Chain A
Amino acid sequence: MKKVILITTLLAALPGRAEVTFTKDVAPIIFNHCAGCHRPGEAAPFALLNYNDVRKRARLIVRVTKDRVMPPWHAEKGSFVFHGDRRLTEKQIDTLAQWTQAGAPEGDPAKLLALPKFTAGWQLGKPDLIVKMTEPFPVPAEGRDIYRGFVVPLNLPKDKWLKAIEFRPGARSVVHHCLFSYDTTGEARRMDRADRQPGFRRMRRQGRGVGSLGGWAVGGQPRELPDDLAWHLPKTADLVLSIHYHPSGKPERDQSSIGLYFTDQPPRTAFAGVQLPPAFGALSGVDIPAGNKAYKVTDSFTLPIAVEAFAISAHAHYLGKHLQMTATLPTGKQLNLLDIPDWDFSWQEQYQFKDFIKLPKGTRLDSMVVWDNSEANPNNPTVPPVRVRWGVESKDEMGSLTLLCRPAPGERYATLTTAYARHFTEVRTRTTREMAARVQGTNGDRILDAFLRRNDRNRNGKIDLSEAPRWLKPSFDRADTNNDNALDAAELRAARDRLKLNR
């Protein structure tokens, strides 16, 4: 052991292998990738703004960066670059490990990099409209995560084009992420009135009059929709917030604020969300057996026009494990649009591509959602696991990926939405047929087992020739494949299946 240490020390002392120091090597990584959240007033629980802050936590930093728990970013490196990608490179992770291994030397403090200039207050500048949750929501010290909806009346004087939403959490230690939507149906207000606590449990209504407006998660930066794109916000719209709270150990009260940024310029074209499977998986017959480690649903859709994609997101509940969407071009080339191999319900990012992705007509989009309903999944909300089906509650499951895209110049928006509506119907029809077949199969086995029990008078688990009803006797020998003069359950099933095939 002593020899190893000696060799390591000698190697480290060799010329050309410069000492890794905080000032020279570590500060640029920490200041640019961690300090945005790890500073007073932000979401992270402790600051990483100077040598002492970082030295104290050197081992922890090495562990969480190696495990890629921090900085939080769940998408694997794909075919395209996302805005705000927080992942560290392997070299940066190695640098942090080497520094810690070397005893975390400070280096020359006079050469320390200046901290980045963090913008105070609203990151996108003064919003055109600032609204706030109408009342504070109490978050208890502990317990399960809370998913809560809040309606915020906007009282717009006229329809608006919305470029961006900036979310300012009220209680940063507990607000983990927030999804934005609008509601013109009054449903959110009704649910709010019906619930005695501030807010309401879950927005149930989807479809006409309700629309997504993106979201925010810890560590995320607000961003405008690219180019001339904008959301249409009807003047009767209420803003709906779906906030995910993580209890922190002490009671908190959250009253978050939201800034809205409008534009007077209507976009050249509307954009669409191609969600696969559609309706968050509601039409795909999601039915996850207890204990199943890898229950999979897939869906495919071929683009009827050329599109320009600009963002992608994924959604599943606690059992979600692996979510992926690929695009296969007409040339056969496959592109990885989004791959989240270790899904975490707590980190629902909206991934915006750095540049528009041009996908030609005939491109096939393939999505895959895998759920893990085993006890080994730490996110499983029910132990021992139980059968889980599709539903809106967090103990139910959903699962889909959504690609946001606009028609390429010269293409028609309606062609895309009509084809997608057709796909929606096809998925529903296919699932209905599959489920009907499954039910029929199950019932068939039940009928067959009952037939065996009824006729097995000597209770040997088989139907002997003397026990067979008259109509079975002519085909008895053909069914008795092992020639033991009796039909067991397997032989009866095989005979039934042969009969079905010959129909």
Chain B
Amino acid sequence: MKTALLILTLLTASTKPARVADTSLALPNLNGHALTPLHAKGKQPAVLFFITHDCPVANKMIPEMRRIAKGFSGKAQFTLVYAEPELHPKVLAKHQTDFSLAQINSVHDRKHQLVRAVGATVTPEAVVVLANGVIAYRGRINNFYEDFGKPRRVVTQHDLRDALKAVLAGQPAPKPRGDCIGCFIPKLSGYKSK
């Protein structure tokens, strides 16, 4: 069945083969307990939110991330990923308190293991990983920001919610309807242009 699902997903998603992540990747959470952010229990999808603590776009969308995590609680596993290797633990802890993030599992991706595993490039960026490791969705959370410096007064497209609903219904996730706007995640070994 798992193989059949994998083949179906590969066939329906696009002509390009879907990226598959290593779901066994383990990282400690902020209390030091081992987590497997890409592997949820049972057949639940795993959802990652990539953020940086001082990205204004990411911070403005944290309340929506919290709402999505609460709304899909029990149906998907959510992890908040701090994608900044140099972030001091005290600054990270303050960010958790300031933005009331105790309810979401959080990890500090010091070596960009998760960034590389799923190909995240921007914060905030959401990634949905199926139980078989297939990356079903990677992109914006919604259309709050469609361009730099131009937040929408009314959000009209909820890309991540739509992707999650589709995945939970056994359907392929629709692609994001726009670019992910926010702060670029710099590569680990200094900046190198693409």
Q: Which one of A248, A318, A375, A382 contacts B60 once the chains associate, using CB atoms below 8 Å?
A: A248
B90 at the interface (CB under 8 A from A): no
Does A45 contact B98, Cβ atoms closer than 8 Å? no
Does A249 contact B59, Cβ atoms closer than 8 Å? yes
Q: Which one of B100, B149, B150, B186 contacts A55 once the chains associate, using CB atoms below 8 Å?
A: B186
Query: Looking at the complex, which of A58-66, A149-157, A320-328, A410-418 is the stretch in contact with chain B?
Result: A58-66
B99 at the interface (CB under 8 A from A): yes
Report the minimum CB–CB distance from B106 to chain A (whole Å): 15
A248 to B64, alpha carbons, bound, how many Å? 12
Beyond A46-B54, A141-B63, whether A64 also contacts B191 by CB under 8 A is no
Query: Looking at the complex, which of B5-13, B134-142, B152-160, B167-175 is the stretch in contact with chain A?
Result: B152-160
Beyond A55-B186, A59-B184, A383-B154, whether A67 also contacts B54 by CB under 8 A is no
How many A residues face the partner with a CB closer than 8 A?
A: 36
For A383, the closest partner residue in chain B by CB is B154
Does A60 contact B183, Cβ atoms closer than 8 Å? yes
Q: Which one of B59, B148, B152 contacts A64 once the chains associate, using CB atoms below 8 Å?
A: B148
B74 at the interface (CB under 8 A from A): no
B146 at the interface (CB under 8 A from A): yes
A380 to B186, alpha carbons, bound, how many Å? 33
A56 at the interface (CB under 8 A from B): yes
Chain A residues near B183 (CB-CB < 8 A):
57, 60
Does B153 contact A144, Cβ atoms closer than 8 Å? yes
> CB-defined interface of B125-151 with A at 8 Å, one 1/0 digit per residue?
000000000000000000000111111
For B99, the closest partner residue in chain A by CB is A250
Chain A residues near B150 (CB-CB < 8 A):
344, 378-379
Interface centre among B54, B55, B59 (most CB of A within 10 A): B59
> CB-defined interface of A36-75 with B at 8 Å, one 1/0 digit per residue?
0000000001100000000111111001100101101000
Chain B residues near A249 (CB-CB < 8 A):
59-63, 99
Chain B residues near A103 (CB-CB < 8 A):
190-193
B71 at the interface (CB under 8 A from A): no
B17 at the interface (CB under 8 A from A): no
A247 at the interface (CB under 8 A from B): yes
B28 at the interface (CB under 8 A from A): no
> CB-defined interface of B33-67 with A at 8 Å, one 1/0 digit per residue?
00000000000000000000011100111111000
A449 at the interface (CB under 8 A from B): no
A100 to B100, alpha carbons, bound, how many Å? 36
A296 to B168, alpha carbons, bound, how many Å? 48
Report the minimum CB–CB distance from B96 to chain A (whole Å): 11
Chain B residues near A440 (CB-CB < 8 A):
none
A56 to B85, alpha carbons, bound, how many Å? 11
A304 to B164, alpha carbons, bound, how many Å? 66
Does A45 contact B54, Cβ atoms closer than 8 Å? yes
Beyond A55-B191, A249-B99, whether A378 also contacts B56 by CB under 8 A is no
Chain A residues near B156 (CB-CB < 8 A):
375, 383
A212 at the interface (CB under 8 A from B): no
A72 to B148, alpha carbons, bound, how many Å? 12
Q: Which one of B59, B60, B98, B151 contacts A378 once the chains associate, using CB atoms below 8 Å?
A: B151
Beyond A45-B56, A56-B186, A59-B184, whether A378 also contacts B193 by CB under 8 A is no
A112 to B145, alpha carbons, bound, how many Å? 36
A237 to B64, alpha carbons, bound, how many Å? 43
Report the minimum CB–CB distance from A321 to chain B (whole Å): 13
Chain A residues near B99 (CB-CB < 8 A):
141, 249-250
Chain A residues near B153 (CB-CB < 8 A):
144-145, 318, 378-381
Chain A residues near B63 (CB-CB < 8 A):
141-142, 249
A101 at the interface (CB under 8 A from B): yes
Beyond A45-B56, A249-B59, whether A69 also contacts B186 by CB under 8 A is no
A375 to B62, alpha carbons, bound, how many Å? 25
Does B149 contact A100, Cβ atoms closer than 8 Å? no
For A101, the closest partner residue in chain B by CB is B193
A486 at the interface (CB under 8 A from B): no
Chain B residues near A318 (CB-CB < 8 A):
153
A57 to B148, alpha carbons, bound, how many Å? 14
A286 at the interface (CB under 8 A from B): no
A250 to B97, alpha carbons, bound, how many Å? 10
Report the minimum CB–CB distance from B42 to chain A (whole Å): 32
Report the minimum CB–CB distance from B104 to chain A (whole Å): 14
Does B192 contact A378, Cβ atoms closer than 8 Å? no
For A376, the closest partner residue in chain B by CB is B146
A258 to B153, alpha carbons, bound, how many Å? 30
A-B contact pairs, 17 of them (CB 8 A): A55-B190, A55-B191, A56-B191, A58-B186, A59-B184, A59-B191, A104-B190, A104-B191, A141-B62, A141-B100, A248-B59, A249-B60, A250-B62, A344-B150, A378-B147, A380-B154, A383-B154
> Which 8 pairs, one residue from A and one from B, show the smallest C-beta to C-beta distance?
A69-B149, A249-B59, A142-B63, A46-B54, A383-B154, A381-B153, A59-B184, A45-B56
For the complex with contacts A248-B56, A249-B60, 9 further pairs of A-B residues with Cβ separation under 8 Å are A45-B54, A56-B191, A58-B186, A70-B149, A142-B63, A248-B60, A250-B62, A378-B153, A380-B153
Which residues of A approach B to under 8 Å, CB–CB?
45-46, 55-60, 63-64, 67, 69-70, 72, 100-104, 141-142, 144-145, 247-250, 318, 344, 375, 378-383
